[in-house]
Amino acid sequence: MLSLDQIQAVFNSSAIPTALFSPSADPVFIAVNNAFLQISTRSREELLGTRLFAAFDAPGSPADDPRVALRDSIAEAIRSGTPQTMPAQHYPIRVRQPDGSEVVEERYWNAVNAPVFDAAGQLIFILHYTLDISEQVKAQEQQRTTTELYSKLIESMDDGFCIVDIRYDEDGKPVDYRFLDINPAFEAQTGLVNARGKYVRELVPGLTDTHWAELYSSVALTGKPLRLAEEPSPIGRWFNIYATRVGDPALGKVAVLFNDVTESRRTRDDLRSLANDLARENRRKTEFLATLAHELRNPLAPIRTGLDLLRLSGATPPARIHDMMERQLGQLVHLIDDLLDIARINSGKVELKRERVVLRDAIATAVETAQPQIQAAGHTLDLSIPDTPLLLHADPTRLAQVFSNLLTNAAKYTPAGGRIGVRVEHDGRSVRVAITDTGIGIPAEALSEVFEMFNQVSRNMGRAQGGLGIGLALVRGLVEMHGGAVHAESAGEGQGSSFVVELPLAGALPDAQAPQPASAGDASPGRRLKVLVADDNIDAAHTIMALLQLDGHAVDVVHDGRRALERARTGSYELAILDIGMPGLDGYEVAAALRADSACRQTYLVALTGWGSEGDRARARAAGFDAHLTKPAGSAEIKRLLAHLPANAAGR
Ligand code: ADP
């Protein structure tokens, strides 16, 4: 048997806060254990003999005074004679800190009031013990808050959300699925009304496709989340979808988060097709430019040749008129060349023929080209170029074209008697060429735009010397192809302009420069050739014929490919000049046929075309042509051709 002291010791050391009250409606503390003292922050002396409801203050308003529930529970225990478990009570307590101060801690208690009877069945105490359930309550509270937060989030989302479970047929094949739960956005996203609790086949009559049931079933069975982008759905719209298994795996429920991307998909498709249209449009523009230039070039050929002929034949139009015509023609050819160049640059067809170029030489060529315009306007030209030869890895013709365009502009946009300067500076790695004038200047807002194609500063419109607005676009294209950059500077209207070209230098100058290769073979002057000219442009064919005849060659002319082939096969020509774009057979086909024919293998074949790119030349070579003549072919070009004709042409 335990002694009373031992029982007291057990009571006191129990970790469960426990008190004994007198069994009355207004109970008095009879005994308290240490754990109770600890949570009540009272001493035994303070409590023993004290009335329970006087011992503690009401923590808040009378409405949520926990003592009321305690009083009721004790009263019920006395009345019923059975233990009463109180609902969880929020009862903050004061906790004494090590420094003696007190803080209030939020606590939740689960208290039991049990009546204790003696052997005679007399009620002697109320045993009150309390369990601190603060941690559980707080955890539950937190869980509830989190759950609430998630439900709020899912409810307020624009994305659709649902939880589905899958229906299988007797063979275990997934055939349908039901929307167990949905969020408010579900309806807006799917257009399915009152879907909660319904199967998709009920909602979409006529649906037999089990694709989606299978997808969800695989998520339910494997637990592997599914992510789908722009998936077509049974309701004819596209969705981005995330599906994942939720809850007990055995139940196989799947949560699906989705949003309708039909519109954005459409917008993107529209944008894509718009971009395609624009690209097509741009291509068409470029092609148009090329065609325009090509077509313009064709009639120029006979005009130029005609002029040459006039001079060569000794007919004497007034020199002034002749010069003027040549000048205008030159201008026209220049414009067309620019057009053709810009079209080629835009379509990436320009091929640079790079070599080591001395910058000074390129500038000298450019000055030579622009000189007539500079002189005509009475401008003075100052050149400031360092003595050291600056080497570039560049296409000499294109480089000269860049500087001559800038010099011509400087001359054009500077009132008579101005100054034009060319200043070259370098830092060992790159070179800076500034072409400066004292002309009309460029307003700040137009500085970057002048390089755009077809862009002209509006006040130039109507100026007799305004071009097509492609010179600077060409300059920029060519400079950039050389790995450089160009920009314009001007202090404003009437303040002159400066165009600065920056280009990378190509290392040091070698000790001895390789001599230029001597020009190729020389035609023996006075040699009489038998020539066939084939061109569907009758004037062009005849002017070339006339030019050749002036030199005493025997020339036959035909105007289509088939006839060209017939004549060439039978005529044993030493030279055949064949237009590429002819009806029937084109020039390439004629050349290929002639090369295959042993009787004509010796004929020197020259392609005549408006197109002069490296690609065209390569194609002409592949077809069997020996040389290439770009239209308009004037007397100079024909002379050069004849000069390069191998001495043993037709006997090669
Ligand atoms: P274009 O001279 O054929 O009009 P460009 O592309 O060469 O075309 O030049 C575009 C525009 O830039 C010109 O129309 C002119 O307004 C302006 N511009 C070019 N060079 C100069 C310059 N040196 N001074 C003033 N304006 C210039």
**Ligand 1 centroid, distance to 349 Cα (angstroms):** 25
Residue listed under structure tokens 């024909």? 638
Instruction: Please identify, by atom number, the ligand 1 atom nearest to the C-alpha of residue 450.
Output: 12
Same structural domain, 327 and 473: no
**525 inside domain:** no
DSSP letters of 53-84? HHHS---S-GGG-HHHHHHHHHHHHHHH-S-E
Residue 71 has pLDDT above 80, yes or no: yes
Cα(268)–Cα(511) distance, integer angstroms: 60
Cα–ligand 1 centroid distance for 472 (angstroms): 7
21 band by pLDDT with thresholds 50, 70 and 90: very high
In this prediction, residue 462 carries a pLDDT of 40
pLDDT digits (tens, 9 = 90+) for 145-155: 999 998 999 99
Nearest CA to ligand 1 atom 20: 409
What amino acid occupies position 282? N
Higher pLDDT, residue 529 or 326? 529
Quick one: pLDDT at residue 148? 92
Is residue 34 domain-shared with residue 167, that is, in the same domain? no
Q: How far is the CA of 297 from the centre of ligand 1 (A)?
A: 24
pLDDT number for residue 499 = 97
Domain total for the chain?
5
Measured by CA distance, the residue closest to atom 25 of ligand 1 is: 441
Give the pLDDT band (50/70/90) at residue 380: very high
Written as six digits, the tokens of 248 are: 């007990």
| Residue 378 clears pLDDT 50, i.e. is over it | yes
In this structure, are 458 and 475 located in the same domain? yes
CATH number at 369 reads: 3.30.565.10
Is the pTM of the predicted complex or chain greater than 0.75?
no
Ligand 1 centroid to residue 390 C-alpha, Å: 28
Q: Are residues 390 and 337 in the same domain?
A: no
Same domain, residue pair 296 and 245: no
Check which CATH number belongs to the domain holding 207 and give it: 3.30.450.20
8 A C-beta contact, residue 322 and residue 307: yes
> Based on the domain organization, do 123 and 11 belong to the same domain?
yes
Is 143 inside a domain boundary?
no
Say whether both 411 and 361 belong to one domain. yes
Percent residues over pLDDT 90 in the chain: 46
Position 520 scores a pLDDT of: 33
Question: What's the mean pLDDT in 414-429?
Answer: 94
| Closest atom of ligand 1 relative to the 466 alpha carbon | 4
Confidence of residue 390 (pLDDT cuts 50, 70, 90): very high
The Cα 497–Cα 63 span in angstroms is 89
Considering the domain boundaries, does residue 13 fall inside one? Answer: yes
Indicate whether 164 and 251 sit together in one domain: yes
| Domain shared by 364 and 451, yes or no | yes
| Cα 433–Cα 435–Cα 437 angle in degrees, nearest 5 | 160
Kindly indicate the confidence band of residue 62, based on its pLDDT and cuts at 50, 70 and 90. Answer: low
> Is the residue at 139 inside a domain?
no
Domain that holds residue 235: 157-260
CATH number, domain containing residue 542: 3.40.50.2300
Residue 346, pLDDT > 90, answer no
Within a domain: residue 148? Answer: no
> Which of these three, 312, 346, 380, is where a domain ends?
346
Q: Is the predicted pLDDT of residue 360 greater than 90, yes or no? A: yes
Residue 495 CA, ligand 1 centroid: distance in Å: 15
Closest residue (by CA) to atom 13 of ligand 1?
456
Q: Which of 341, 401, 409, 419 to mutate to test the pocket of ligand 1 (most atoms within 8 A of CB)?
A: 409
Greater model confidence, 539 or 10: 10
Does residue 652 form part of some domain?
no
The pLDDT of residue 651 is 41
Of 118, 133, 148, which residue constitutes the final position of a domain?
133
Ligand 1 site residues (CB inside 6 A) read 409-410, 413, 437, 439-440, 442, 450, 455-457, 460, 466-473, 497
20 beta partners? 31, 127
Is it the case that residue 317 has pLDDT exceeding 50?
A: yes
- 428 with 490, same domain: the answer is yes
pLDDT score of 424 more than 90: yes
Q: Are residues 50 and 128 in the same domain?
A: yes
Q: What is the pLDDT of residue 513?
A: 38
Query: Cα of 353 to ligand 1 centre, how many Å?
Result: 27
Mean pLDDT of the chain: 85
279 and 424 share a domain? no
Best probe residue, ligand 1, of 408, 420, 456 (max atoms within 8 Å of C-beta): 456
Residues 418-441 have a mean pLDDT of: 95
What confidence tier does 323 reach under pLDDT thresholds 50, 70, 90?
low
Alpha-carbon distance 156 to 500, whole Å?
60
Point out the ligand 1 atom lying closest to the alpha carbon of residue 470.
Answer: 6
CATH of the domain at 280: 1.10.287
Question: How far does residue 484's CA lie from ligand 1's centre (Å)?
Answer: 20
The stretch 201-223 carries a mean pLDDT of 91
Is residue 47 a part of any domain in this protein? yes
Cα of 408 vs centre of ligand 1, distance in Å, is 10
List, for residues 175-199, the tens digit of each pLDDT value.
999 999 999 999 988 888 999 999 9
Smallest CA separation from ligand 1 atom 3, residue? 467
Q: Which of 216, 235, 260 is the last residue of a domain?
A: 260
**Is 526 a residue whose pLDDT tops 80?**
no
Q: How remote is the CA of residue 422 from the centroid of ligand 1, in Å? A: 17
Segment 639-648, tens digit of pLDDT: 888 887 876 5
Pick the atom of ligand 1 nearest to 468's CA.
3
Question: Which residue's CA is the closest to the ligand 1 atom numbered 27?
Answer: 413
Tell me which of 181-185, 238-242, 321-325, 329-333 is least confident: 321-325
